[in-house]
């Protein structure tokens, strides 16, 4: 019997590619070519599965010729790059990579918070540029982390990981806002208190955004929300571009309405708003929140296992739209 055909949209670990080749006829992209919508669409025409990443927009347009596609396995926990209702309507299963990246991404959120609060990259740029000629009493004086108030917007698995780090590692008071309140035992594990969004904005010394992107969370933090924050506060976004209004944030940073920001995700990335590039009190990283070697490998393995599980054994591990299975 011939093997099902799959497409891997971007370069991937050679060992994961080899595993997939055992089960599938694979069209890979180890050259990591940037395909246009038409090129991706043509390649999907004869495929049963696609291994996608956040860089691919998978929607009705891309799927126009994909008559045989049964599964879109996304190598990310977030799946706003996929028009899930459009795929569900076509009976195509979507899978993501929850859990395997939770702790690594929470580590990164905390790293970005600390780098921002203590102005680490600003100090490094200064040193590398050869300007450091003597010690000075207020050199790169930042804001404290320990014993301050940590605010978390979006209290899923990663948000809870950040809360635990803040509460138990740094003695922070943790407050959060989320669509739904956590169960009391989960709140106790994170030592976190539920507050309204306005209270969260007003009380946080460090506000970390960890909510999924959707039309409902578009510009969840824009000029009106930034105006509620303390001028000594920092803002960290490890969630998705578009949750923050980057132009409004650049303005707030320029006007010193905020102490600093740590951003791993951007509106229209890999483009970055020029206003953000022009201010010094911001730490910028290229969407690498889950990027430790073991975690990226675990995400790739889970994506591959979803393809193998579903197309070979009829059972996906982490479905996003399980209703298509019924
Ligand atoms: C990365 O951004 C992810 O959603 O896993």
Residue 37: pLDDT band by 50, 70, 90 thresholds? very high
Pocket test for ligand 1, best of 73, 103, 105, 212 (most atoms within 8 A of CB): 105
Residues 118, 219 share a domain: yes
Taking the C-alpha atoms of residue 240 and residue 254, their distance in angstroms, rounded to an integer, is: 22
Kindly give the distance from the C-alpha atom of residue 7 to the centroid of ligand 1, in angstroms, as a whole number. 20
- Whether the per-residue pLDDT at 322 is higher than 90: the answer is yes
Taking the C-alpha atoms of residue 1 and residue 320, their distance in angstroms, rounded to an integer, is: 30
Cβ 204 under 6 angstroms from ligand 1: no
H or E segment to which residue 25 belongs: strand 25-27
Active centre residues (catalytic) = 240, 269, 287
Cβ 54 under 6 angstroms from ligand 1: yes
Burial bucket for residue 257 (CB in 10 Å: 0-12, 13-18, 19+): middle
Residues 205, 260 share a domain: yes
**Nearest CA-CA partner of 81 in 24, 45, 37:** 37
Nearest CA to ligand 1 atom 5: 76
Enclosing domain of residue 161: 102-284
Residues 130, 70 share a domain: no
State how far the alpha carbon of 88 is from the alpha carbons of 57, 63, 164, 185, 262, in Å: 15, 12, 36, 34, 35
Taking the C-alpha atoms of residue 108 and residue 280, their distance in angstroms, rounded to an integer, is: 20
Question: What residues contact residue 31 under an 8 Å CB cut-off, 6+ apart?
Answer: 11
**Nearest CA-CA partner of 308 in 297, 299, 317:** 317
Residues pairing with 262 in the sheet: 236, 283
Helix (H, G, I), strand (E, B) or coil at 208: strand
Residues 251, 110 share a domain: yes
For residue range 259-307, list pLDDT tens digits in order: 999 999 999 999 999 999 999 999 999 999 999 999 999 999 999 999 9
- Whether the per-residue pLDDT at 209 is higher than 90: the answer is yes
CATH number at residue 307: 3.40.50.720
For residue range 149-198, list pLDDT tens digits in order: 999 999 999 999 999 999 999 999 999 999 999 999 999 999 999 999 99
Residues 139, 161 share a domain: yes
**Nearest CA-CA partner of 6 in 322, 318, 304, 225:** 304
Cβ 175 under 6 angstroms from ligand 1: no
Residues 299, 280 share a domain: no
Please tell me the total count of domains within the chain.
2
Residues 52, 151 share a domain: no
Pocket test for ligand 1, best of 73, 94, 101 (most atoms within 8 A of CB): 101
Question: What residues contact residue 275 under an 8 Å CB cut-off, 6+ apart?
Answer: 246, 247, 250, 251, 254
Residues 246, 120 share a domain: yes
Taking the C-alpha atoms of residue 223 and residue 264, their distance in angstroms, rounded to an integer, is: 20
Cβ 96 under 6 angstroms from ligand 1: no
Cβ 77 under 6 angstroms from ligand 1: yes
On the question of a cis peptide bond just before residue 270, with omega within 30 degrees of 0, the verdict is: yes
Taking the C-alpha atoms of residue 91 and residue 191, their distance in angstroms, rounded to an integer, is: 42
Taking the C-alpha atoms of residue 219 and residue 196, their distance in angstroms, rounded to an integer, is: 17
Residues 298, 280 share a domain: no
Residue 326: pLDDT band by 50, 70, 90 thresholds? confident
Taking the C-alpha atoms of residue 209 and residue 237, their distance in angstroms, rounded to an integer, is: 5
Residues 174, 121 share a domain: yes
Backbone dihedral angles phi then psi of residue 137, each to the nearest 5 degrees = -60, -30
Residues 127, 35 share a domain: no
Residues 123, 260 share a domain: yes
Cβ 78 under 6 angstroms from ligand 1: yes
**Nearest CA-CA partner of 113 in 245, 221, 205, 219:** 205
């Amino acid at each position: 019997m011939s093997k099902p055909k799959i497409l891997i949209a971007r370069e991937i670990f050679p060992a994961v590619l080899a595993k997939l080749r055992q089960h599938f006829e694979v069209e890979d992209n180890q050259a990591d070519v940037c395909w246009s919508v038409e090129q991706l669409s043509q390649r999907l025409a004869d495929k049963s599965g696609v291994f996608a990443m956040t860089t691919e927009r998978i929607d009705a347009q891309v799927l126009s010729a994909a008559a045989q596609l049964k599964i879109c396995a996304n190598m990310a926990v977030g799946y706003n790059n996929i028009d899930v209702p459009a795929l569900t309507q076509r009976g195509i299963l979507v899978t993501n990579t929850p859990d395997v990246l939770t702790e690594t991404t929470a580590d990164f959120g905390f790293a970005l918070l600390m780098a921002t609060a203590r102005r680490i990259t600003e100090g490094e740029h200064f040193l590398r540029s050869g300007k450091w000629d003597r010690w000075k009493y207020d050199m790169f004086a930042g804001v404290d982390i320990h014993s301050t108030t940590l605010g978390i917007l979006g209290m899923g698995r990663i948000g809870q990981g950040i809360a635990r780090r803040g509460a138990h590692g740094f003695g922070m008071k943790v407050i959060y806002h989320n669509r739904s309140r956590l169960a009391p035992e989960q709140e106790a594990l994170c030592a976190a208190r539920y507050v309204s969004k306005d209270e969260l904005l007003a009380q946080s010394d460090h506000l970390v955004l960890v909510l999924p992107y959707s039309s409902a969370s578009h510009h969840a933090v824009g000029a009106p929300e930034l105006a509620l924050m303390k001028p000594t506060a920092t803002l960290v976004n490890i969630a998705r571009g578009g949750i923050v209004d980057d132009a409004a944030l650049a303005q707030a940073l320029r006007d010193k309405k905020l102490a600093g920001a740590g951003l791993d995700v951007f509106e229209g990335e890999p483009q970055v708003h020029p206003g953000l590039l022009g201010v010094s009190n911001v730490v910028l990283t290229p969407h690498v929140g889950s990027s430790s070697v073991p975690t990226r490998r675990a995400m790739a393995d889970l994506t591959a296992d979803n393809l193998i599980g579903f197309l070979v054994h009829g059972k996906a591990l982490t479905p996003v739209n399980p209703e298509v299975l019924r």
